[in-house]
Structure 1
Amino acid sequence: MYPRVILKGTLIKKSQQKRRTSPSNYKERFFVLDTQDLTYSERRPGKKPVQKGSIELARIKCVEIVCSDIPIPCSNKYPFQVFHDSYYLYIFAPDNDCRQRWVRALKEETKCNRLAVKYHPNFWMDGRWRCCHQTEKLAAGCHEYDPMGFASKKPLPKTPDPERRLSNPDLGRVVVVAIQNYIPHDASDLTLKKDQEYVLTDSSHPEWWAVQDDRGNTGFVPNIYIAEKSGSNFNRFVWYNKNITRARAEELLMQEGKEGAFMVRDSRQLGVYTVSVYTKAPGSNGEKNPRVKHYQIKDTEIEPFRFYLAEKYLFSTIPELIQYHQHNAAGLITRLRHPVTLGKDNSQNSFDVSQGEWEVEPAELVLGEELGSGEFGMVLQGTWRDRKVAVKMLREGAMSEEDFKEEAMVVTKLSHPKLVQLYGVCTQHSPICLVFEFMEHGCLSDYLRATRGHLSPDTLLGMCLDTSEGMAYLESSNFIHRDLAARNCLVSKDNEVKVSDFGMARFVLDDQYTSSQGSKFPVKWSSPEVIKYSKFSSKSDVWSFGVLMWEVYSEGRLPYESRSNAEVVESLNAGLRLLKPRQTPSAVHQLMEWCWKEKPEDRPSFAVLLHELASLSDL
C-alpha cells in the first residue's frame, strides 16, 4: 500500500551544514509529508523535480517552533525545526498558520517515536546554541519537549506597547499558574509551560500581563493563558462575588433576567465556591419557569485536574472551568453566558451588535420573496444598498432576542471567504433580523438534489474542498460549529460552497435534533461522543464533515434515510458506518472513513483534511 500524503507545499530550508565547512544557505524546496517520510525537492520550470532530501519519520526525535529575536535572512519569516538522527533541519514557513499546520502534522505522525526529552527553542548559530549558549551541537536541550503540545489555536490579543514597564511595585507577590503552553511570538514575550507557576509582575494591561519564571526571566504573556494559583484570589474576574449570600445572588440574577446570567460566590463552607445561574428553561409542566440554579464547584484535590461542576469535566483551575462552561453547558441547565457581579461593571464583557457599524437602517432594507425557512424563522431575499442580500428573520417564540444577538456577535468575530458573510443586523423593528450575503443557489442539500446527475466529479470534490477550508478556519479560531451538514452550507452562482449557521445547534428545538437521551443535536450527523455524552469538539465537527462529504457524493440523499434516530444510534454502537456512494472515488471514501473513527483523537484535523482534498484536486 502506498503511503498517504498528509501535507505538501513550498517552504524554504536552511542548509543542514553536516560539515563544519558547509556554507549556510536558504533554498526554496517543495516539501511533501506522507505517512512514511518527509521529502523535499527542487522544482525547475519545464523539468522534472529533483529530490534533494528525505527523512524517514521513524528517525525524527523532535519537531518544534523556533523562537528567535534575530533577523530572518529569507523571505519566509516563521521557522520550525526537525531534529533527526544527529542533524537539525530548519524550515521556514510564509506565515504562522502554515507553520502550525506543519508542526501539528509532524508531531502527530512522530508522537510514538523515541523522542527527545528536551529541545533547543532557538537556533544553533556560530558554534553555539542561542538559547542556552552551549557549544556542543548535540548537547541536551534546555526546554522540556512536549510531543503533544501544539501551538495554541486561540486568537492572541493585540501586542502590548513595548515601552510598557515589566513590573508594578504595588502589585505584591501574586503567584499564577499557566493554563496552557504559550510559545513567544515576540522578543518581549515569555514562554509558558502548562501547569507551571510564575510570579505576576504587572497586570495593568487589559490583555497582556508580565510574569517572571523560576529562573528570573520576565516577559509578556496573554492573560487568558494564566490564572491565579490562590483559590480565593478571583477579584479580577467580573463573575466573582466574595461576600454575597444565596438569597442576594438569586435577587441579583432575577433582576438581570437574562438566560445564562451567572456569578461565582463564596459558599458557606470555607474555601468552597458556588456557581449560581439564571434560566428560563421549561419546568416539568412544559411552561417557562424562571429560576436560579446553584452548583457547587467540586474539588477532587488530585493534581493536576481538580475542579468540576455538574458533570466530571475536570480542570486545573476554577477560571479555566468557568471559561469552558461559558461555551458548553456540559451537564448544567444552561451555559454560563452573562457574568453578573455586584459593584462591578457587568457590561465589560458584553457586545451590543445594535450599536455602531453593524446596525442596518430599516429604511435601507427592501424585502422580497421567501427563500426558505429554518428552525428560527423565514429567510427572505432582499436588497440593501443596491446589492442582493439574504435576510434571516427571527420567528416569535423560536429563540430569545438575546440568543439571536449572540449569533450576530459570533458571526461578526469570524471572517473568511468560505464563511457566509454578515453585512449587518436590524434590531430597530420587530421581527429583528440578520442581513447576509446572497448565495444564488441556496442551501447545498437542496442544490445537490436539484442538480442530481449534472455535477462533474471535479465540482463535487470542489464542494468538499470549499467546506473543509471554511471549517479549517473555524478550527484555527478555536470555534466549534456543532451543526455541520449540507443544509447549513450555501452555494453561489459559481458553485462555490460557504459554511453558514455556525454554532446554532444549541438553540434548536426541532424533533430531528433529539436523541433517545433527550439531548438536542442532529443525530444522523453526530459522532458517538456527542450522542453518548453531548461532548462537542472540532473532532466531532470532523465526524459531521464526513457525513457532509457523503451527502455531496450521494447528491443530496438523507443519511440513514430509512432509519430512525434510535436505529442509527444502535448501528453506530455496533461499529457500522454509512456505505460508500456509487460515484465516490476510493481516496475520498478513505477520508470519510477516517472522519468516522470511533475515538476523536484518531480522526484528522480540518487542516489535514484540507490538504488531503487539495492534493486530490491537483491530480
Structure 2
Amino acid sequence: MFPRVILKGTMIKKSQQKKKTSPCNYKERFFVLDTQDLKYSERRPGKKPMLKGCIELSKIKCVEIVCSEIPIPCNYKYPFQVFHNNHYLYIFAPDNDCRQRWVKALKEETKRNNLVAKYHPNFWMDGKWKCCQQTEKLAPGCHVYDPVGYASKKPLPQLPDPEMGLRDAGQMKVIALQDYAPLGDDDLPLHKDKEYILIKSSHSDWWAVQDDKGNTGFVPSIYVAEKSSNNFQRFEWYNKNITRGEAEVLLMKQGKEGSFMVRDSRQAGVYTVSVFTKAAGSNGEKNPRVKHYQIRQTETGEATYYLAEKYLFSTIPELIYYHQHNAAGLITRLRHPVSQDGGCSQDIADHSKDQWEVDPEELTLGQELGSGQFGLVLEGRWRGKRVAVKMVREECMSDEEFKEEARVMMRLSHCKLVQLYGVRTRCSPMCLVFEFMDRGGGGGGNPREGKKGCLSQDTMLGMCLDVSEGMAYLESSNFLHRDLAARNCLVSKNNEVKISDFGMTRFVLDDQYTSSQCSKFPVKWSAPEVIKYCKFSSKSDVWSFGVLMWEVYNEGRLPYENRTNGEVVESLNSGLRLLKPRLAPDAVHQLMEWCWKEKPEDRPSFAVLLHQLASLSDL
C-alpha cells in the first residue's frame, strides 16, 4: 500500500551544514509530505525532478516555527524547523498560513514519536543559539516543546476509498460549521457558513459534497450540518434517550465548568441543552448546579434556532458550535461535551501538564511589581533565573478558569510575547511564571513609562512594530487579547516591547467572542461594538492597537485623560476620535485613523498593519 500524500508545495530550505566546513545556502525545493516521509526535490525544466533529501517521519523529534529578529536572506520570510537524526532542517514558507499548515500537519504525523522536551525557538548561527547563547549545537532547548500546539483536537479519520464513488444523496444542502483545509487530493476545502450540496453520506466519518463551482470532494462529516434535518446523532454532544435527572447526575459527576449535552425534551421534536456550572449564586458563593436551556424556534425565517438572547441559527449543530466559543447569554460557555457513557471530551489535552508544573521548592518569591484585575505580580527566582510571578486571587477566578488561562498561555510562543515558563497549580495560591523583562534596575516598564523627549522617532515606530508583530501572531492563531493597551506591554532595557497580561485572552475559532459577564472592560481602549454589544474580535483588538499607538506617540499620556467614560462613549457615538499626536508623522496617524473605523470590517488586519509599519521603518 502506497503512503498517502498529505501536503506538497514549493518552499526554500537552508543547507543543513552537517559539517563545519559546509557552505550556507538557500535553495528552492519542492516538498512532499506523505504518511511516511518528508521529501524534497530539485525541479529541473524539461527533466524529471531530482530527489535531494528524504526524512523518515519516525526520526523527527521536533517541528516548530522559528521566531527571529535577524533579516531573512531569502525571498520566503516565514521559517520553521524540523529536528531529526540530530540535525536541524530550516524551511522557509512564503506566508504564515502556509507555514502553519505544514507545522500543523508535521506535528500531527509525529506527535507519537520520541520527541524532545524542549526546543530552541531561534536559529543556530555563528556557532551559538541566538535564543539562549549556548555554544553546543545539540544543547537542550530553552523553551518547552508542545507537540500538539497546532494539531487538531482530534485526528481526522482515514479518508474513504475514492473508488467507492460519490453520488447517492440527492440535492440536500449542508452548511459548513468551520473552515477545513484539504489534507489530500480527494477532499474539498470548506469555508465556514457557506452552503454545499451533499452528494454522498453513506460513510460515517467523511461525506462527499459539491461547492458552488461544481467541485466535488470529501469533507469530515462533523464539519457540516444538514439544513433541513435534525440528523445530529454523529455529534458527541447528543444523547438521545436520557432524562433530565439522568443528565444532571452525569454532568454533576463530571464536575467540570461548561460540561454539557444536548438531549430530547419531553415534547417530541424539541431539544434541551443541559450544562454544568460552578458560577456563584445570589449569595455570592460557589453554587455547583446544572442549568437547562430549551432550544427554541422562531415561526418564520431561515435562521430559526436559538438558545438565549435570540442568536439565530439555521441548524442545531451551528447553534451548539457557536455557543461552544461564545456564552452569549448562557450561564457559561459550552466547553466539554459529555456522552451518555459518562465520557467527557476535553478542549485541550492535559497530557503535557506535568512538564509545565513548577516545583514550589524551586520558586522563590520576592517584592511586588504590580497588581491587576486577577491578582498580584511578584518578582521571583526560578532555576537560577529572574522571573515574574502572576499570583491569582482566589475570589477572582476559579481553579478551572485559572487552568484554562494557563492552557491558553501554553499554546503561545512568539518572540514579541512575554514567555510563559510554567505554572504552579498544586498549592494555593496558584500562579503563572513568566520571563522577567529587565529594564535595567526596574521590573520591566511599559511604553507609557518613558521620560518625555527621550524616545526617538525610530524607537517609537519600533515599539509599534513590535506590538503589531506579536498581535499578527495572535491573529493568525485565532487568539484575541481583549485588553491591549500600553499598560499591558513590557519594555526591555533596549526598548524591545513584548505583549503581556493575557488574563482576558480568549481562544475563539470563529474570531468573535461575546462576553456573558462584560461589565468590566477598558472603555477608553474599546471599539464601539465592544461598548454597545460586548462583541470582541481581532478587529476590536485592532481598534485598541490604534489607541496604543496614540499612547506611544504621546509619550505615555492617557487617552481622553480629562473625560469620563460616559463622555468618551458620547464622543465616539458622534464620530469624534482622538486627535493627532504632535510627534506622530502623517503616515502613522493615518494608520491610527484606519484602526478607528466605525465598522469592524473597514479596519485593517494586524498582518496588514505589520506590513504598513515595516514599510515605514524602511523609509
Identify the TM-score tier after normalising by the shorter chain. 0.5 to 0.7
- In structure 2, give the amino acid aligned to 1:493: K
Report the TM-score when normalising by structure 1. Answer: 0.67
Query: Which residue of structure 2 lines up, in the alignment, with residue 383 of structure 1?
Result: 381
> How much does 1:200 deviate?
4.0
* 1:494-548 C-alpha deviation (Å, 9 max, x unpaired): 22112223361689xxxxxxx9x97332211111111111111111111111111
Looking at structure 2, the residues matched to 226 and 491 of structure 1 have their Cα atoms a distance apart, in angstroms, of: 45
> Which range moved further: 438-447 or 400-409?
438-447
Query: Which residue of structure 2 lines up, in the alignment, with residue 97 of structure 1?
Result: 96
Query: Which residue of structure 2 lines up, in the alignment, with residue 492 of structure 1?
Result: 492
**Helix, strand or coil at the partner of 1:465:** helix
Aligned residues: 474
> Which range moved further: 477-486 or 606-615?
477-486
- In structure 2, give the amino acid aligned to 1:568: V
Q: In the superposition, relative to structure 1, how do residues 414 and 285 fare at CA in structure 2: closer, same or farther (>3 Å)?
A: same
- In structure 1, give the amino acid aligned to 2:264: D
Query: Which residue of structure 1 lines up, in the alignment, with residue 527 of structure 2?
Result: 527
> How much does 1:229 deviate?
5.6
**Helix, strand or coil at the partner of 2:448:** helix
Q: In the superposition, relative to structure 1, how do residues 72 and 165 fare at CA in structure 2: closer, same or farther (>3 Å)?
A: farther
**For residues 236-255 of structure 1, what are the structure 2 equivalents within 5 Å?**
236-255=234-253
Q: In the superposition, relative to structure 1, how do residues 285 and 575 fare at CA in structure 2: closer, same or farther (>3 Å)?
A: farther
Q: In the superposition, relative to structure 1, how do residues 384 and 484 fare at CA in structure 2: closer, same or farther (>3 Å)?
A: same
- In structure 1, give the amino acid aligned to 2:420: L
**Helix, strand or coil at the partner of 1:369:** strand
**Helix, strand or coil at the partner of 1:536:** strand
Looking at structure 2, the residues matched to 221 and 160 of structure 1 have their Cα atoms a distance apart, in angstroms, of: 14
Task: Tell me if 1:586 matches 2:583.
Answer: no
1:329 to 327, 330, 337: 327
Q: In the superposition, relative to structure 1, how do residues 231 and 520 fare at CA in structure 2: closer, same or farther (>3 Å)?
A: farther
**For residues 57-68 of structure 1, what are the structure 2 equivalents within 5 Å?**
none
Looking at structure 2, the residues matched to 95 and 362 of structure 1 have their Cα atoms a distance apart, in angstroms, of: 44
Looking at structure 2, the residues matched to 599 and 367 of structure 1 have their Cα atoms a distance apart, in angstroms, of: 46
1:166 to 161, 171, 180: 161
Q: In the superposition, relative to structure 1, how do residues 271 and 161 fare at CA in structure 2: closer, same or farther (>3 Å)?
A: closer
Q: Is the 8 A contact 1:444 1:487 kept in 2?
A: no
Q: Is the 8 A contact 1:412 1:422 kept in 2?
A: yes
Looking at structure 1, the residues matched to 380 and 152 of structure 2 have their Cα atoms a distance apart, in angstroms, of: 36
> How much does 1:262 deviate?
2.3
**Helix, strand or coil at the partner of 2:535:** coil
* 1:437-472 C-alpha deviation (Å, 9 max, x unpaired): 111238987452243321111111111111111111
**Helix, strand or coil at the partner of 2:195:** coil
- In structure 1, give the amino acid aligned to 2:161: L
Which sections of structure 1, spanning at least 5 residues, go unmatched? 1-10, 13-27, 29-69, 79-92, 102-153, 508-514
> Which range moved further: 476-485 or 297-306?
297-306
Query: Which residue of structure 2 lines up, in the alignment, with residue 211 of structure 1?
Result: 208
Looking at structure 1, the residues matched to 493 and 580 of structure 2 have their Cα atoms a distance apart, in angstroms, of: 28
Query: Which residue of structure 2 lines up, in the alignment, with residue 552 of structure 1?
Result: 552
- In structure 1, give the amino acid aligned to 2:241: N
- In structure 2, give the amino acid aligned to 1:166: D
> Which range moved further: 602-611 or 180-189?
180-189
> How much does 1:155 deviate?
6.2
Which sections of structure 2, spanning at least 5 residues, go unmatched? 1-10, 13-27, 29-40, 46-73, 78-91, 101-148, 508-514
> Which range moved further: 548-557 or 402-411?
548-557
Query: Which residue of structure 1 lines up, in the alignment, with residue 124 of structure 2?
Result: none
Q: In the superposition, relative to structure 1, how do residues 394 and 310 fare at CA in structure 2: closer, same or farther (>3 Å)?
A: same
Q: In the superposition, relative to structure 1, how do residues 503 and 381 fare at CA in structure 2: closer, same or farther (>3 Å)?
A: closer
Query: Which residue of structure 2 lines up, in the alignment, with residue 85 of structure 1?
Result: none
**Helix, strand or coil at the partner of 1:571:** helix
Q: In the superposition, relative to structure 1, how do residues 161 and 523 fare at CA in structure 2: closer, same or farther (>3 Å)?
A: closer
Q: Is the 8 A contact 1:445 1:556 kept in 2?
A: no
Query: Which residue of structure 2 lines up, in the alignment, with residue 436 of structure 1?
Result: 434
Looking at structure 2, the residues matched to 466 and 376 of structure 1 have their Cα atoms a distance apart, in angstroms, of: 26
- In structure 2, give the amino acid aligned to 1:407: E
Q: In the superposition, relative to structure 1, how do residues 414 and 197 fare at CA in structure 2: closer, same or farther (>3 Å)?
A: farther
Looking at structure 1, the residues matched to 229 and 295 of structure 2 have their Cα atoms a distance apart, in angstroms, of: 11
Looking at structure 2, the residues matched to 558 and 480 of structure 1 have their Cα atoms a distance apart, in angstroms, of: 23
Q: Is the 8 A contact 1:283 1:289 kept in 2?
A: yes
Looking at structure 2, the residues matched to 557 and 329 of structure 1 have their Cα atoms a distance apart, in angstroms, of: 35
> How much does 1:288 deviate?
4.3
- In structure 1, give the amino acid aligned to 2:535: K
**Helix, strand or coil at the partner of 2:449:** helix
**Helix, strand or coil at the partner of 1:357:** helix
The percentage of counterpart residues that share the same residue type is 68
> How much does 1:402 deviate?
0.7
Looking at structure 2, the residues matched to 100 and 161 of structure 1 have their Cα atoms a distance apart, in angstroms, of: 20
Query: Which residue of structure 1 lines up, in the alignment, with residue 305 of structure 2?
Result: 307
Looking at structure 1, the residues matched to 401 and 168 of structure 2 have their Cα atoms a distance apart, in angstroms, of: 41
Looking at structure 2, the residues matched to 276 and 158 of structure 1 have their Cα atoms a distance apart, in angstroms, of: 23
> How much does 1:315 deviate?
3.4
Q: Is the 8 A contact 2:222 2:234 kept in 1?
A: no
Looking at structure 2, the residues matched to 77 and 213 of structure 1 have their Cα atoms a distance apart, in angstroms, of: 34
- In structure 1, give the amino acid aligned to 2:389: V
Query: Which residue of structure 2 lines up, in the alignment, with residue 421 of structure 1?
Result: 419
> How much does 1:428 deviate?
2.2
Looking at structure 1, the residues matched to 163 and 503 of structure 2 have their Cα atoms a distance apart, in angstroms, of: 41
Q: In the superposition, relative to structure 1, how do residues 425 and 369 fare at CA in structure 2: closer, same or farther (>3 Å)?
A: same
Looking at structure 2, the residues matched to 434 and 499 of structure 1 have their Cα atoms a distance apart, in angstroms, of: 15
Q: In the superposition, relative to structure 1, how do residues 455 and 202 fare at CA in structure 2: closer, same or farther (>3 Å)?
A: farther
Query: Which residue of structure 2 lines up, in the alignment, with residue 618 of structure 1?
Result: 618
Query: Which residue of structure 1 lines up, in the alignment, with residue 196 of structure 2?
Result: 196
Query: Which residue of structure 1 lines up, in the alignment, with residue 464 of structure 2?
Result: 464
Q: In the superposition, relative to structure 1, how do residues 354 and 363 fare at CA in structure 2: closer, same or farther (>3 Å)?
A: farther
Q: Is the 8 A contact 2:277 2:288 kept in 1?
A: yes
> Which range moved further: 422-431 or 222-231?
222-231
1:370 to 368, 371, 376: 368
Q: Is the 8 A contact 1:182 1:192 kept in 2?
A: yes
Looking at structure 2, the residues matched to 245 and 493 of structure 1 have their Cα atoms a distance apart, in angstroms, of: 62
> How much does 1:588 deviate?
1.0
> How much does 1:72 deviate?
7.3
Q: In the superposition, relative to structure 1, how do residues 462 and 220 fare at CA in structure 2: closer, same or farther (>3 Å)?
A: farther
Q: In the superposition, relative to structure 1, how do residues 307 and 374 fare at CA in structure 2: closer, same or farther (>3 Å)?
A: same
- In structure 1, give the amino acid aligned to 2:566: A
Looking at structure 2, the residues matched to 503 and 201 of structure 1 have their Cα atoms a distance apart, in angstroms, of: 45
**Helix, strand or coil at the partner of 1:346:** coil
Query: Which residue of structure 2 lines up, in the alignment, with residue 116 of structure 1?
Result: none
Q: Is the 8 A contact 2:175 2:225 kept in 1?
A: yes
* 1:405-437 C-alpha deviation (Å, 9 max, x unpaired): 101111112222212211111222211111111
> How much does 1:559 deviate?
1.7
Q: Is the 8 A contact 1:240 1:263 kept in 2?
A: yes
- In structure 1, give the amino acid aligned to 2:545: F
- In structure 1, give the amino acid aligned to 2:409: V
**For residues 56-95 of structure 1, what are the structure 2 equivalents within 5 Å?**
94-95=93-94
Q: In the superposition, relative to structure 1, how do residues 302 and 448 fare at CA in structure 2: closer, same or farther (>3 Å)?
A: same
Looking at structure 2, the residues matched to 566 and 453 of structure 1 have their Cα atoms a distance apart, in angstroms, of: 32
Q: Is the 8 A contact 1:261 1:277 kept in 2?
A: yes
Q: In the superposition, relative to structure 1, how do residues 217 and 574 fare at CA in structure 2: closer, same or farther (>3 Å)?
A: closer
1:266 to 264, 270, 277: 264
RMSD: 4.0
> How much does 1:385 deviate?
2.4
* 1:569-611 C-alpha deviation (Å, 9 max, x unpaired): 1221111111222211111111111111111111111111111
> How much does 1:173 deviate?
7.8
- In structure 2, give the amino acid aligned to 1:458: D
Q: In the superposition, relative to structure 1, how do residues 238 and 165 fare at CA in structure 2: closer, same or farther (>3 Å)?
A: closer
Q: Is the 8 A contact 1:380 1:392 kept in 2?
A: yes
* 1:57-92 C-alpha deviation (Å, 9 max, x unpaired): xxxxxxxxxxxxx997799899xxxxxxxxxxxxxx
Q: Is the 8 A contact 1:168 1:202 kept in 2?
A: no
Task: Tell me if 1:569 matches 2:564.
Answer: no
Q: Is the 8 A contact 1:381 1:389 kept in 2?
A: yes
Query: Which residue of structure 2 lines up, in the alignment, with residue 361 of structure 1?
Result: 359
Report the TM-score when normalising by structure 2. Answer: 0.67
Looking at structure 2, the residues matched to 411 and 596 of structure 1 have their Cα atoms a distance apart, in angstroms, of: 28
- In structure 2, give the amino acid aligned to 1:466: D
Q: In the superposition, relative to structure 1, how do residues 260 and 192 fare at CA in structure 2: closer, same or farther (>3 Å)?
A: closer
Looking at structure 1, the residues matched to 458 and 351 of structure 2 have their Cα atoms a distance apart, in angstroms, of: 40
Looking at structure 2, the residues matched to 423 and 224 of structure 1 have their Cα atoms a distance apart, in angstroms, of: 36
